Amino acid sequence: MPVSGVSYIPILIFLVIACLFPVVSLLLARAVRPSSYNRVKMEPYECGVESEGEPRQRYSIHYYVIAVLFVVFDVETVFLFPWAVKYRALGLFGFVEMLIFLAILVVGYLYAWKKGALEWV
């Protein structure tokens, strides 16, 4: 069965709507929104407390190290749940394997602790 140009019309209509929808939405939002500038409205707000200093200050590298360590240990401990669900089916092999996994986690935690990566100051 040969393909005619008429069969592509629904796809063309879909592409036109997909391209026009965001543009029309943004233009409509711009026409409707209030656009009054106010100095107080443009100030940074933090829970009712007056801001001190620059809003874009530098963070210590320790903050990022703590965050990465949290994500690493959190993601690794997620593996404990499926193991606990299948504990009886895995038997002694699964138990020993999880002990090795936990030992690796503890060694990593102790290494980070000894290096001072968990200090906030």
Q: Which pLDDT tens digits describe the chain residue by residue (121 residues)? A: 566 768 889 999 999 999 999 999 999 999 998 777 777 777 766 676 776 777 677 777 778 888 888 888 888 888 888 888 888 898 999 899 989 988 998 898 898 889 887 776 5
Query: How much is the pLDDT for 23?
Result: 96
Place of tokens 């193991």: 83
Could you tell me which of 15, 22, 17, 109 has the C-alpha nearest to residue 66? 109
* Residues 117 and 66 sit within 8 Å (Cβ to Cβ): yes
Query: How much is the pLDDT for 2?
Result: 62
- Domains of the chain in start order, with CATH, are 61-114 (1.20.58.1610)
Query: How much is the pLDDT for 69?
Result: 84
